[in-house]
């Protein structure tokens, strides 16, 4: 048993449910204590003086002048695109052909996959991300290597073979039968083992024949506990292609519904162009969407309607995702920066200054990504959307002790004078200060704000200890 002492902030509810009083969703201890057992499970948490009284003799790691949050959750990331993030010039479909397929193919080779996956996890930890839901390639070897490396690091992962059987070069595709057989084997070997979960992962409906989607449906029916992870409504050209390929469906979501894939544990990445009706059906099904703002801007996909997705009448569960390499940054802090900007851009249209008939003050309010909403979304909110909130997302007793230690002075030179404005160099002493610091970190700071990342109660990354491989 060991304990970590410092300033802790986490969430106990959804701040979008507390408009005007988001602090009610937040928990903050300026001097807190987190007690972790030998397996890495949280056994106690609260104000230092109360908690320490209950555990008289214990090793205590003191973390001063920092703010400790639950580890970040990335709901949508492509492991084999680690090396090609920031590749020039194309929207979704030509970008896949030009950059993605050739690089992903290299991961059919186990040795290259092992190097890439190792670098991937190193970068992830240096970004403060402790849980991700990830794409691999169409060949099972990539997913295997990912499960192995995640297990070696004791990290929580949701992943699976990323199946594609049409609209890709032949050397890149799989068949429905091969996919079904290999996925079944991987589910047996890895799903629910340690911290690993399997996701049935059709790449996207544009790359999936009816046979492949039927195989996905069969896998989900036979293994109801597995996740389903895919893309949805990212780009208008893609949507047109999907509705040509699946001409028995009237919208993108219907393709996945038809094969029994949409429900709890379903996540569709992007959803930029989802209609109000599709949002309502996702909400009713308990399914989730991943908001990937870096990617949506980088590939020019469009502006995700954050304020619409968070409509309390039809709330859609949301994870936030980097979507590396469609997204150009690994850090969820950069993801929050771009998410904030998307919300603000949405509001140019909603504030009525261009077209008064489109004014919607309530939706505009929901588009504002306050620091509460932002950090909820990459911790507890992500865990809820991924149905992992019994395991991770905040510091509740019984959860796994994954956390990130933030340094408000880390970032470009501009950040130091900025964060000093309200907080000085020490840890924040009030929730207001903590929220102001977090906003500065996400808008002016970057991955340099991640001083340490801990996995299951063990320090897995320390910025000041030096380099990532």
Residues forming the site for a second copy (CB under 8 A):
82-86, 88-89, 91, 119, 122-123, 126-127, 235-237, 240, 297-303, 324, 328-331, 337-338, 340-341, 343-348, 351, 353-354, 368, 370-371, 412-414, 417-418, 421, 436, 439-440, 443-444, 446-447, 467-468
Nearer to a second copy by Cβ, of 75 and 241: the residue is 241
Q: How far is the CB of 87 from a second copy (least distance, A)?
A: 8
Q: How far is the CB of 103 from a second copy (least distance, A)?
A: 9
Q: How far is the CB of 348 from a second copy (least distance, A)?
A: 5
Helix (H) or strand (E) segment spanning residue 152: helix 140-153
Helix (H) or strand (E) segment spanning residue 58: none
Q: How far is the CB of 72 from a second copy (least distance, A)?
A: 14
Nearer to a second copy by Cβ, of 290 and 328: the residue is 328
Q: What is the distance between the alpha carbons of residues 216 and 266, in angstroms, rounded to a whole number?
A: 12
Q: What is the distance between the alpha carbons of residues 251 and 272, in angstroms, rounded to a whole number?
A: 13
Q: What is the distance between the alpha carbons of residues 18 and 168, in angstroms, rounded to a whole number?
A: 45
Q: What is the distance between the alpha carbons of residues 167 and 246, in angstroms, rounded to a whole number?
A: 13
Pairing type for strands 162-163 and 196-202 reads parallel
Are 283 and 263 within 8 A, CB to CB?
no
> Can you tell me whether residue 336 is helix, strand or coil?
helix
Nearer to a second copy by Cβ, of 196 and 295: the residue is 295
Q: How far is the CB of 408 from a second copy (least distance, A)?
A: 12
Nearer to a second copy by Cβ, of 94 and 277: the residue is 94
Q: How far is the CB of 262 from a second copy (least distance, A)?
A: 25
Q: How far is the CB of 377 from a second copy (least distance, A)?
A: 16
Q: Return the beta strands (E) in 106-185 as ranges.
A: 129-135, 156-160, 162-163
Q: Which residues lie below 8 Å from residue 117, measured CB to CB, with a gap of 6+? A: 79, 142, 145, 146, 149
Q: Which two tokens stand for residue 289?
A: 């969407």
Residue among 154, 113, 99, 163 nearest 135 (CA): 163
* Cα→Cα distances 21→14, 372, 382, 439, Å: 11, 10, 21, 17
Nearer to a second copy by Cβ, of 56 and 466: the residue is 466
Nearer to a second copy by Cβ, of 63 and 443: the residue is 443
Nearer to a second copy by Cβ, of 164 and 438: the residue is 438
Nearer to a second copy by Cβ, of 119 and 258: the residue is 119
Burial class (CB in 10 A: 0-12, 13-18, 19+), 142: buried
Q: What is the DSSP letter of 259?
A: T
Q: How far is the CB of 447 from a second copy (least distance, A)?
A: 5
């Amino acid at each position: 048993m060991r304990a970590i002492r410092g300033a802790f902030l986490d969430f106990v509810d959804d701040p979008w449910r507390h408009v005007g009083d988001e602090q009610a969703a937040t928990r903050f201890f300026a001097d807190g204590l987190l007690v972790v057992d030998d397996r890495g499970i949280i056994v106690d948490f609260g104000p230092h003086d109360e908690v320490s009284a209950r555990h008289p003799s214990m090793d205590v790691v003191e973390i001063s002048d920092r703010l400790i949050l639950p580890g970040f959750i990335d709901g949508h990331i492509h492991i084999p695109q680690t090396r090609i993030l920031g590749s020039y010039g194309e929207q979704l479909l030509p970008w896949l052909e030009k950059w993605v397929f050739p690089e992903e193919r290299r991961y059919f080779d186990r040795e290259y996959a092992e190097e890439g996956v190792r670098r991937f996890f190193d970068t992830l930890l240096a970004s403060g991300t402790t849980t991700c839901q990830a794409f691999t390639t169409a060949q099972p070897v990539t997913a295997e290597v990912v499960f192995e490396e995640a297990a070696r690091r004791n990290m929580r992962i949701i992943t699976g073979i990323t199946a594609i059987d049409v609209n890709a070069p032949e050397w890149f595709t799989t068949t429905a039968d091969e996919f079904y057989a290999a996925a079944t084997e991987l589910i047996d070997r890895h799903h629910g083992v340690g911290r690993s979960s399997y996701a049935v992962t059709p790449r996207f409906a544009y790359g999936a024949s009816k046979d492949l989607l039927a195989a996905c449906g069969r896998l989900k029916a036979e293994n109801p506990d597995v996740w389903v992870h895919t893309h949805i409504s990212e780009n208008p050209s893609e949507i047109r292609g999907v509705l040509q390929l699946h001409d028995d469906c009237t919208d993108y979501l219907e393709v996945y519904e038809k094969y029994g894939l949409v429900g709890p544990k379903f996540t569709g990445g992007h959803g930029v162009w989802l209609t109000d009706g599709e949002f309502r059906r996702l909400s009713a099904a308990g399914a989730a969407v991943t908001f990937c703002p870096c990617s949506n801007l980088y590939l020019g996909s469009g502006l995700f309607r954050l304020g619409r997705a968070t409509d309390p009448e039809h709330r859609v569960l949301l994870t936030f995702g980097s979507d590396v390499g469609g997204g150009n940054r690994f850090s969820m802090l950069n993801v929050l920066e771009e998410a904030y900007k998307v919300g603000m851009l949405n509001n140019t249209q909603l504030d009525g200054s261009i077209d008064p008939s489109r004014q919607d003050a309530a939706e505009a309010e929901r588009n504002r990504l306050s620091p509460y909403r932002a950090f909820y979304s990459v911790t507890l909110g992500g865990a809820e959307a991924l149905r992992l909130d019994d395991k991770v997302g905040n510091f509740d007793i019984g959860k796994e002790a994954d956390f990130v230690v933030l340094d408000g002075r880390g970032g470009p030179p501009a950040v130091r004078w900025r964060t000093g404005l309200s907080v000085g160099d020490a840890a924040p002493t009030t929730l207001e200060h903590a929220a102001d610091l977090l906003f500065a970190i996400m808008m002016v700071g970057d991955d340099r704000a991640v001083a340490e990342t801990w996995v299951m109660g063990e320090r897995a990354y320390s910025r000041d200890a030096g380099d990532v491989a």
